[in-house]
Every structure is written in structure tokens, then in C-alpha cells.
Chains A and B, each alone.
Chain A
Amino acid sequence: MMMLGLGSVGLVLLSLAVQSGHGAQDSAVWSREETTERNYYTRYHNMSEITAWMEQMKRENPDVVSSMVYGQTYERRNITLLKIGLRSTERKKAIWMDCGIHAREWITPAFCQFFVKEILRTYKTDTKVNEMMKNLDFYITPVLNVDGYIYSWHNESTRLWRKSRSPGTGGCTCYGTDLNRNFYANWGMVGVSTDCCNLFYCGTKALSESEAWAVTDMLGKMREDILAFLTIHSYGQQLLVPYGHPNTTAPNHDELMEVGLGAAMAIKAVHGMDYTVGTSPDILYPFSGSSQDFARLIGIPLSFTFELRDKGEHGFELPEDQIQPTCEEAYAGAQHIITYTHDKAFYSYAATVTATLWTTLLAAWVSSAILL
């Protein structure tokens, strides 16, 4: 309860900070850099632009941003994340976020870019963001399915590609595995197909795809430290909590629902958009082998799948003039989860000690008062 209270206060402070930040930008004299930056985050960017942008983030923020190549795609491209946080000599807790696991969901890499931009813009002036940057490292992968994303940029006929780009095997001539069915989490059980032409093709075996393997490898190495796992998709306006596999309940289901509903409220407060919260078997469809399920299964307590705008009017081809509002609301939702996660980890001990101390003092005072 106290943690949620602290989280809410943190969220309010953060929202005020974000809003005041925007206000300050609007009234400032426009430098060319600011104008460019403002326009940059309202457009979709291809893979080479995103790669260049990652380099730029490192160059401009060398004390808080580094990058890590943590795997290779089928077509031998680097899978890169940005690690963002105030440097520390001690081991730090982490937040994981990945975007672009499904190629056609272009709004999602745009959101990862926006998220990075926002925390870098605000961490020096916003005490809450600063505190979280001090205590946490953010591991953000703007595009996980690099091959698929590049393919979806090829021309209009490839725009709606979803899967990876590994070729089919055993005489099956279609391409691609659904990366979000390829994880070692009840792999191959539900909501999948063994037909390589199918959009839910789960691969020849769990982690047959190097992209899924790269994430698994990183999560495995960091599992003690990762507090929250966020994987970003579109479309549908939903927040999914584990498990995608039906008839199984996460041990902290109530907590996940509560935090998810809080995040949905934070999202709605920005532009009035409704995001439905629930397990995938309840609100979408059952499926196994997802990265979200894997994260929860290895012990990461807070594991969420975001399904961003819209609800079907444009679908995957969300207009660029909706990038900003979509990112703003998703940012509020993500920050709600991250703030909760952070405060639970870093305030829980202190809060309990304080509460216990006060209770003790009060009991002692009362007993001494009675004795007198």
C-alpha cells in the first residue's frame, strides 16, 4: 500500500516534470537542434537511421549511455541495446525493454527511441528520474527483429511482414519464425503452428532463432538483477500480463493486475485512450513460447507486454502524426510500472523499518503512559 502510494506520488511528480519540460521547450527560442529533435521523434526511421541514432545517443551522453551488441540475427546483423544509467561501481538492478520483435509494428521502435530521449532529457532536472537512473540501469533494445524490420521497409508489399527472416526447413518454402513463440516457455504447446508458412510458426525447436536466443542469453545472465521486463508490440491498446499460456496463473497475478491497471490509468490520463489489462488468454488469445512468459518463468516479477495504438482504424500503419501522442501515453504507462518496480525494490526495506520503529516507539510510549 505504502509502496503504491509512493509510486503514485512519484508518478504525479514525473508527470508534472514531463509537462513542465514540454512547456519550457515550447517557449524557448528554437535552435536548429531542438527543431530537428522535435521532428525526429515524430517520424518512423529505418534500421540504418536507428543505428546512427544509437551512436548519437552514446556520443551526446557518454556518461550515462553505452551500447552492447548481444547477439546476431539470422542474416548476421547485430542486435544492439542501449544501456542507460548513472555509472556506479556497484552492481545495479535493471529494467529491460525491447521493441520491434514483430517487424510490422513500426510504432514500437519509435517508442523505444522516444523513451530513451525522454529519460535522457529529464534525468538531470527531474529528481525521480534521476533517482531511478542512479539506482537502475535501463537496457533498451530499439529493434530486436532487425532482419524482419529491414524487410518490412523494402517496399509496400513487404510492409506487413511479422516474423524473423530465417528460411523454412524440410521442404517448406516460406520464411520466418514468430519470435514471440520461439522462447523456452511451454514452447510449442498452445497458439502455435508447425507449418513454416503460418504466422505463428514457432520454429523447429525452442530458441531455434538467434534473436530469441540473444534475449534468453541476456536475461539468463542478468536474471538476478532485472526487476521488470517490458516488451512492446502493436496494435490493440492492451497491457498483457503473464501467462500467455492458458490455465496457468503467475504467482503474483494480483500484483501484476494492480500495477497494470495503474499503468492503464496513467495512459488514459494523457490523451484519454483506453487500454485493456489482462492475461492474453482472457483478453486476446492463448499462446505459449513468448518472451513475456519466459521472463516471468525465470523469476522476473514484473513482466508486461504493451500493445500500443490503435484499435484497428489504421492498425500497423499508424500515421506519423500519432507517433507523439502514442509515445507520450505509453511512456506514462511504462513509467508507472518502472516507478512501482523501483520503489518496491528501494523503498520497501526503509519503509518497513520506519513503520516498525514507529510502532515500537508508540507501543513503548503507551505502555509507559499506562504504568505511570
Chain B
Amino acid sequence: MDWTLLILLVVPTVVHGNPTVTVRTGSGPPVGSDQHPNSVPLSEETQTTTEVREVVVEEVMMTGVLNPSHYPARRAATVVQHYLNTRYGSPYRWIFLSKVHSGSAEDVAEMRKYQLELTMQEIISNVSGQCSAELLFPGGEGQSAPQVQASCEGLLQSNTTAQEEAFYQQHRASNNMVSGNDIPDSYGHMEPNMKPFWHLGGVASSFIMLKESNESTLYNMAQVANFTQLETEKDQLRVNYHVLLHEMISQEIIHWKLLVTWSPEQGVQVLQTELQPKCHNCEAPPNTTN
């Protein structure tokens, strides 16, 4: 009797989460379009009579200990990646960020200073190394590049000398200038003999990506649109590149042309860079004639 009563008294509770549903309408406090580096300037590029609005949350810059999985550390770490490629990259050495372990940020005078502990990976040999880095993002007006210092352990272990020398000797003679396009292609594919030119394009792009980086950008090279080898000069291989950079925070594809030199001794140097204008008229459907 008592048992039955007890059991009957117990009501199995099933908890259903009933989330509060709040649907906000489109109106809200006006958000300033200030200082977003990728914002479209008001009215200059407008082709309409209506006001063009860039609605961006003004980013509050993190200070103190950074969460390694949050974007401020990741963006700064990617800048370190670009820096390392400008210093150490080659047709057989291309470095990518593997993991952010820890970081901190602080305001120093007008500038923003980051300290990071990272794992970087050289993706051709798959060798990883631990890096400590310090970055300074310049504040105020002007578009000067961030300053980076980094020291890594174990990252540059792979012996690329033989491959680099072979590649260099293969291409330094003037009788067969190489060129290529769409590397990788739409399917992510590239011919094996194009790979070192892909790496070289990526390393050369790092010079641009480093210079263009700030706390509101995250750059990767999306593709080598085309490259053309030029006559070797002063013992340097010379290549003209047209690269597509993907800037993640604006999602834009940005076209750059660069003149690159390389030799095993001198490393990668970028002699000229030229930003290509974005082609708005290229967007019409393929079978319309405009």
C-alpha cells in the first residue's frame, strides 16, 4: 500500500528548456562607422542617392591576458606567421600557424603590444616548432606595418638546401622561362612542378600581408592567379606574380601584383608591389552583354 502511494506521489519531471524568444527588429541605436579599416568610405564610392552605411561594432581592444582561442590572439598570431615567412620562407619552406598557447596585449603609448606563445608548423616538411613573439601595432593615423620580433625553436629543422639548390639550378638558365596560372585550381589541384612556385608566391605574399595587417585583419593567400618567370638577374631568379589574397574579416579577395626575386643565398625579396583595382563590372551574369 505504502509503496504504491510513494511511487504515485512521485511525479516524473521532464524538464524542457523553453528558451525565451526575443526577436529584435531591425532598428536599434545607430552604430558609428568609424575607423574600421575595411569600411567603405561614405558617399565617395556611392553610386546611388541613398546613403551607404557600414555597420560595424567598434572593436573594444582586449588588454591583459588573451584567450588563446579568441580572435585577437589568432589575428596577432597570423601576423607572426607572415613575419616568419618573410624571414625564413622559400620555395621549400612555408610556415603556418598551428596553435596559440597563450598571449597578452597592452597599450604602450599610442601603440598596441602583443606577446604570444605559439606553435608554428612548416607545412612542407611538417616540422613544428615553439615560438615566442612580440608585436607592435602602430596606433593613430597612417598605415605603417606592425613590428614583429619572434624566436622559434625547432621550426627550421628541415634541411631544404639540396632541394633549393636543385630548383635554383633548374630555373636560373635563360632558355626556358616558366609560367603558370590558377595555382591551386578550382579543385585545389596543382601540378607537382608548380608547387615550389606556389610556395614562393605564398612567401612573397607574406610581405604584403605583413605590411597590410592590423588588429582587424586576417590574411591568407587564396591563389596564385598567374606567375611569369623573367630573366635571371644578378644571380637571382625573378618572377612576376599576380596573387589573390583573402582577407577574412571583410571576406574580400584582394588582387596584388608583385615582382619577386629569390636565390638560396639571398632568400626571398619583393621588389615591387601593386594593388590591383577591384573590378565591379566583372560581376554581371556570364551570358549578358553589358
By the criterion CB–CB under 8 Å, are B48 and A299 in contact?
no
Q: How far is the CB of A2 from the nearest CB of chain B, in Å?
A: 13
B271 at the interface (CB under 8 A from A): no
Given A252-B17, A276-B69, A278-B69, does the pair A173, B47 have CB atoms closer than 8 Å? yes
By the criterion CB–CB under 8 Å, are B26 and A188 in contact?
yes
Q: How far is the CB of A315 from the nearest CB of chain B, in Å?
A: 5
Given A156-B185, A311-B97, does the pair A352, B12 have CB atoms closer than 8 Å? yes
By the criterion CB–CB under 8 Å, are A174 and B69 in contact?
no
Of B2-10, B105-113, B143-151, B227-235, the one touching chain A: B2-10
By the criterion CB–CB under 8 Å, are B14 and A349 in contact?
yes
Write out the residue numbers on chain A whose beta carbons fall within 8 Å of the beta carbon of B249: 285
By the criterion CB–CB under 8 Å, are A317 and B184 in contact?
yes
Q: Given contacts A160-B253, A193-B53, could you give 16 more A-B pairs where the C-beta distance is less than 8 Å? A: A106-B186, A156-B182, A160-B244, A165-B285, A173-B280, A175-B283, A194-B55, A195-B45, A251-B20, A274-B99, A278-B70, A299-B19, A316-B246, A317-B184, A319-B189, A349-B12
Report the Cα distance A106→B184, complex, angstroms: 14
Report the Cα distance A250→B286, complex, angstroms: 43
Write out the residue numbers on chain B whose beta carbons fall within 8 Å of the beta carbon of A10: none
A284 at the interface (CB under 8 A from B): yes
By the criterion CB–CB under 8 Å, are A360 and B19 in contact?
no
- Residues of chain A in range 140-158 having any CB-CB distance to chain B below 8 Å: 151, 153-154, 156-158
Write out the residue numbers on chain B whose beta carbons fall within 8 Å of the beta carbon of A67: none
Given A186-B24, A284-B71, does the pair A352, B184 have CB atoms closer than 8 Å? no
6 contacts between A and B (CB under 8 A): A156-B182, A157-B282, A200-B250, A206-B26, A251-B19, A311-B97
Q: How far is the CB of A242 from the nearest CB of chain B, in Å?
A: 10
Q: How far is the CB of B225 from the nearest CB of chain A, in Å?
A: 8
Report the Cα distance A156→B22, complex, angstroms: 43
Given A283-B70, A357-B7, does the pair A311, B96 have CB atoms closer than 8 Å? yes
Chain B residue with the shortest CB-CB distance to A279: B70
B220 at the interface (CB under 8 A from A): yes
Report the Cα distance A13→B150, complex, angstroms: 45
Give the interface SS of chain B, mostly helix, strand, loop or mixed.
loop
B223 at the interface (CB under 8 A from A): yes
Report the Cα distance A317→B182, complex, angstroms: 10
Interface residues of B (CB under 8 A from A): 2-3, 6-7, 10, 12-15, 17-24, 26, 28, 31, 40, 45-57, 67, 69-71, 74, 78, 96-97, 99, 123, 181-182, 184-189, 220-223, 244, 246, 248-253, 278, 280-286
Report the Cα distance A158→B207, complex, angstroms: 26
- Residues of chain A in range 156-175 having any CB-CB distance to chain B below 8 Å: 156-160, 162, 165, 170-175
By the criterion CB–CB under 8 Å, are B19 and A250 in contact?
yes
Chain B residue with the shortest CB-CB distance to A171: B48
> Which 4 pairs across A and B sit closest by C-beta, in order of nearness?
A319-B188, A312-B220, A199-B251, A353-B12
Given A189-B26, A312-B96, does the pair A194, B53 have CB atoms closer than 8 Å? yes
A176 at the interface (CB under 8 A from B): yes
Write out the residue numbers on chain B whose beta carbons fall within 8 Å of the beta carbon of A286: 57
Chain B residue with the shortest CB-CB distance to A197: B280
